[in-house]
Amino acid sequence: MSDDPDIEADPEARVRLASLILRLRELGISDRKVLGAIETVPREAFVPDLYRDDAYLDRALPIECGQTISAPSVVAMMTTALELEPRHHVLEIGTGSGYQAAILARLSRRVTTLERYRTLLELAQTRWDLLGITNIAGIVADGSKGWQTQAPFDRILVTAAAAVAPAKLVAQLVDGGILVAPVGPVDAVQRLTLFRKEGTRVDTRDLGAVRFVPLIEGIARNL
């Protein structure tokens, strides 16, 4: 079920993971590839030791640098919305724990992920290395600007809330590309929004209410 030996050796962990997959199905997550990625990427490897027993609960958990790892249902919903294909190059804005990038890496050719906290990126890289995930490139950078060096991207996923539609990031999509991002004020419920670029036109679709930490410009110093 999972590539993590701890999961295979721990019957309780297997039960918790199975319960999570069942919950995701009940919430309408039916994409077998996405569910398979969630089964094979051990979420407990991406949370602090204090929260390992809660890793398969469907809720956000605290991580280092005052950030959070998103609830599995949110990860599943955002990943499904990207309509990923094996050939895709994905840009992720906000590496965080590295869990979302690991899910994306199971479903795409390559993931470039930007993180403003060097500490978070270093921890994430250690986790990817331990799991043998080699198709992720992590970069310390200002994610609000995207990554023009490698643009355009087939897909872009933003894991922090933009106050307004992220036009700079949408511009870094290929024709026909998809960007998924939470949009709205920091102190209120945001709307998870899908942007699809079709030539000079950008179509949008509301995917529902979410709450994310804000998308902050610049690189964090000394962290």
Give the active site residues.
70
Angle at 131 between CA 126 and CA 137, to 5 degrees: 60
Which amino acid belongs to residue 184? G
CA 146 to chain centre: 15
Backbone angles phi, psi at 64, to 5 degrees: -65, 165
CA distance 212 to 179: 16
What is the layout of strands, in order, in the sheet containing 201-210? 136-140, 110-115, 89-93, 153-158, 173-183, 190-198, 201-210
Residue 109 has what DSSP assignment? S
